[in-house]
Structure 1
């Protein structure tokens, strides 16, 4: 008998179809009780300024995972804050986040974030070259820790911690992308164990996911040492493409994004908390995929969805063939959109309201 036949075999990884089939019963049980239970009551006032002058900005569906449900964004006529209304509750957030960043989506999203080294390096280089490197850095909403892994090439002596709700932060610690993984609520942990611990706190595309952005900003104030810096990057709801492309503007990312802060509102809140804003950037943070994203979301709105556990049964062969045919037919539109994004929109980023995101750097001058 061959020796190789006696060697233990590594269990084969389940196929995507097998994974979907295994997850389907849980999803169908959740959906059998309806999607209405995933939402809080609709607000009649702005969560930022309290004004009752609200207007519908858009209504859409989940174009990313094709999970059932409808989602609305409303805008305040007074302060221009945009927010999801009615907002997802805790059960809703769990349902719509499930298998996006972890589970089924872990590898796909991990590969997407892992390929952005240049972006992460530019984010890390917020200091003047002559400034003293930070000793401790907390990346809030770190995901799988891809940003800290690149940032430590800029600041090799800095200790990078990462905080997140998902088990991705534990993966980030096991793989060495961060020195310490912290799982839980930032506002709660800032009160309990993180106060005055960090020279830098970063929130890259995190605040828009938060149910209470003000609480997150107060937590950052508490976690920073005097003289420390807060780095924030968020989608810009005042971008021209947000209105031009409507529900097909990629940064709306419904149903995950709950709040969209105009930069004036954020600056005013930081000032009230005792921060000094030392930089505001629009050109460099802009991720110029507006047209490509619009074409992709439009496709997702019309073509049959791929198999997913939220569907009651797998799509038949005819629907699968139709999906493949429509995707192939859309390739020229995707290529054209990518070309226009890179050659036309990217050079214009930072001019007017073309940028789809902004970054603010603020200094904490005294303990809270």
Structure 2
């Protein structure tokens, strides 16, 4: 996540962002984006690594080459795989400027309402995440959700654990919104490792749901978690599974690649080993439960959206004309039957067998700090 103020923020504008028409908001953002692009994309990337950031081995192979299939911002991205430990990582990795550019208007700004509505409607999934802690600590007093976004998980988890105080931490101003809306008791905004020293041994549970893959240094995040969890407390981690068969079968259309945001995709054996070395005992490993049955639907949608003419966006030099808008609408409508079939397969054919088929798109670990 990036710490930034975007155009259209109510604090910076004479009128609330939601009262401004989308086309006007996009037009207002276009000059800044075009200036960024005119300066070149090279500054958005660090030098390419020749060794694995997880184990240091130099036996690397290219696993994926792709583009930004969600926002369609310019750029090409490469994921390399370590042949020794299996770690998959973005190479070259985004620089600080690149992270700011590619995150901008995804979780906040233009994308805030859309993503907020999406995350807000996933109550059943959030409850399942909270319930995964019940066998290990049925009544934790304090819980910190790292990468909490707008705090929707904490709001749903409170129904499962009504006696637990939930705090949230995030880079973006979404955590401040979460505190104002009462979804978290306390919202911390900033870098987790930088804040860990003031949170030492404060929490019975620290959770990282689809957070670690976004971090520039996963090991540093895990060390911060160890500092923050009290002895005997638990760390709950959920991340995409790079060993899922869907990752190979769907290729660039596999949603959890999520380029360019996902910087590290860690095989479960690697994460178990690292947690053990940090003084944790892994007490549960789940694959079927965290699987999100959207792989085929998302794959079809990404392919359709990629083939269709672009929708308006401030990183485009100009808005699309009427003909391109019509062509886009026609293609997407024509793809509805494929989207329906993909949804049915995801939910009713694949989901019950996801772990047995090896296509679970995520895994979850519960680890106790010794």
TM-score by length of 2: 0.94
CA distance in 1, matches of 2:184, 2:335: 40
What's the counterpart of residue 289 of structure 2?
Answer: 284
How far apart are the structure 2 equivalents of 1:314 and 1:130? 53
Q: Which secondary structure does the structure 1 equivalent of 2:33 belong to?
A: helix
Counterpart in 1 of 2:299?
294
User: 2:359 aligns to what?
Assistant: 354
Q: Deviations over 1:260-316 (max 9, x none)?
A: 000000000000000000000000100011111111111122111110000010001
Alignment-derived partner of residue 252 in structure 2: 247
For structure 1, which runs of at least 5 residues remain unmatched after alignment? Answer: 1-8
User: Equivalent residue for 1:230?
Assistant: 235
Structure 2 CA distance for aligned equivalents of residues 32 and 130 of structure 1: 53
- Distance in 2 of aligned mates of 1:254 and 1:130: 34
CA displacement at 1:352 relative to structure 2 = 4.3
Inter-CA distance 81–222: structure 2 relative to 1 (3 Å threshold): same
Q: Counterpart of 2:19 in 1: which secondary structure?
A: coil
Q: 1:154 aligns with which of 152, 160, 164?
A: 160
How many Å apart are 1:344 and its aligned residue?
Answer: 1.2
Aligned counterpart for 1:256 among listed residues 252, 258, 261: 261
CA contact (8 A) 2:133 2:366 kept: no
**Is residue 116 of structure 2 the alignment partner of residue 116 of structure 1?**
no
Of 344-353 and 33-42, more deviation after overlay is shown by 344-353
Q: Which residue of 1 aligns with 2:54?
A: 48
1:274 equivalent in structure 2: 279
Sort the Cα spacing of 1:12 and 1:130 in 2 relative to 1 into closer, same or farther, 3 A.
Answer: closer
Deviation of 1:11 (Å): 9.7
Distance 1:131 1:298, change over 3 A: closer
Tell me the residue number matched to 1:197.
Answer: 202
Structure 1 stretches of at least 4 aligned residues deviating more than 3 Å after TM superposition: 9-12, 127-132
Larger C-alpha radius of gyration, 1 or 2? 1
Superposed CA RMSD in Å reads: 1.4
Out of 91, 104, 109, the residue aligned to residue 103 of structure 1 is: 109
| TM-score under structure 1 length normalisation | 0.95
Deviations 1:100-132 (A, max 9, x none): 001111110001001111111111012346945
- State the Cα deviation string for residues 225-278 of structure 1 (Å, max 9, x = none): 011000000000000010111111000000000000000000000000000000
Matched residue SS, 1:176: coil
Q: How many residues align?
A: 356
Partner of 1:122, secondary structure, is: helix
In the alignment, the residues of structure 2 paired with residue 288 and residue 53 of structure 1 have an alpha-carbon distance, to the nearest angstrom, of: 33
Whole-angstrom CA distance in 2 between matches of 1:93 and 1:11: 24
Q: After superposition, where does 1:1-368 map in structure 2 within 5 Å? A: 13-128=19-134, 131-191=137-197, 193-365=198-370
> Any stretches of 5+ residues in structure 2 without a counterpart?
1-14
- How many angstroms does 1:159 deviate by? 1.2
Work out the CA distance in 2 between the residues paired with 1:92 and 1:99.
Answer: 13
